[in-house]
Amino acid sequence: MSDVTLSKPDLRGWAVPVGLVLLWWLATDRQWVDTRIVPGPPAVVEAAWQAARGGELAHNLGASLGRNLAGFALGSLIGLPFGVLLGLSRLAERLAGPTFHAAKQIALFAWIPLLSAWFGFGEPAKMAFIALSVFYPVALNSFEGIRATRRELYEVARVLGLSPAQRLFRLVLPSAAPAIFTGLHLGLIYAWLATIGAEYFFSAGPGIGNSMIDGREHFEMDQVIYGVLVVGGVGLLLNRLAAWVESRTLAWRAGNR
């Protein structure tokens, strides 16, 4: 017999979602709730199927994901070097650190009036809103990762005669990589939440959030609920994707221990 044993998938995490769906189905089937407000699972599945067959779901989901990834890229490209700069330079931290730490206490949605005044209510405002949600976790975790770099590494860099660029890319950034990837992971999650928020608060356009708004305005609650399920499902997939990329990228650290 082979010594190799296949591990069985742990299905316990499905217990609560399956139980909630069964309760939802039972409540609507027995008329415990008003099905005009809480339609049953068959009605929601039918609404999702019609949206998928007509291309509406793919169109809206593609628009939301494109907006999400563009905002994530913009926020990361600004937040990562800013956090690294604060971590490397005491002068930069003294100059910009207090303002940064104060600004990150402001609720994200409090920026909407300013963003709408600066960028209007169209795509630029949505992109700025998403990028802002990404900027703070990426910058903060990059800063903390750089500052947590062990002093011994700087001594090694000095002994080896490394240039500032070599010290940064060969010692400091690899040491801070786990914190940086944590910030990027959080940034990707926040970007998706901000994407749906931007579609709610700024001008109408293609997107899952706007599809849910249309369903609410026409009192088509099955459309609203399938939108909520799509938002949750995409968020879960993005979280899993970020965790997978992080584990693969940082696999070399486990091998060096």
Average pLDDT over residues 68-76: 94
For 125-150, the pLDDT digits (tens) are 999 999 999 999 999 999 999 888 77
Top-confidence residue, 216 or 132: 132
Q: pLDDT category, 255, cuts 50, 70, 90?
A: low
Rg for the chain, CA atoms, rounded? 23
For 142-192, the pLDDT digits (tens) are 999 988 877 776 677 777 776 777 777 777 888 888 899 999 999 999 999
Look at the pTM and tell me if it is higher than 0.85: no
pLDDT over threshold 70, residue 254 = no
d(CA 180, CA 143): 8
What are the sequence ranges of the domains in the chain?
42-250
CATH code of the domain made up of 42-250 = 1.10.3720.10
Residue 106: what residue type?
I
For 79-114, the pLDDT digits (tens) are 999 999 998 888 988 998 888 888 888 888 888 888
For 27, the token pair is 């409540």
Cβ contact 147:193 at 8 Å: no
